[in-house]
Amino acid sequence: MGRFLGVVAVILFGTLLVGYVMSYVDWGLRTLFYSYPGPTWGGLLLIIAIPFLVRLINRTGAVLAMDRHIEESDWQPIDPVGREWPWTDLRLRGTIRVLRAWSFETSGFPITAGEIKWTGNALAGAVVPERGKGVFVIVHLPTEVPSMAMRNRFDRVGDSPMLDSSALRLALLNDDIPPWTARGRTLFTIEVPKAWIHPSVVDGIVRRALRVVELLGLTPDQAPDRS
Helix (H) or strand (E) segment spanning residue 133: strand 132-152
What is the pLDDT confidence band of residue 4, given thresholds at 50, 70 and 90? very low
pLDDT (0 to 100) of residue 2: 53
Say if residues 142 and 115 touch (Cβ distance below 8 Å): no
pLDDT (0 to 100) of residue 63: 63
pLDDT tens for 85-99 read 999 888 888 899 999
Give the angle subtended at the CA of 175 by the CAs of 172 and 177, to the nearest 5°: 60
| Dist CA 137 CA 155 (whole Å) | 20
Q: What average pLDDT does range 169-197 have in this prediction?
A: 91
Q: What average pLDDT does range 182-197 have in this prediction?
A: 90
Q: What are phi and psi of 93, to 5 degrees?
A: -155, 175
**Averaged confidence pLDDT in the chain:** 78
What is the pLDDT confidence band of residue 121, given thresholds at 50, 70 and 90? confident
Q: What are phi and psi of 159, to 5 degrees?
A: -120, 20
Residue 77 burial (10 A CB sphere; 0-12, 13-18, 19+): exposed
pLDDT (0 to 100) of residue 73: 75
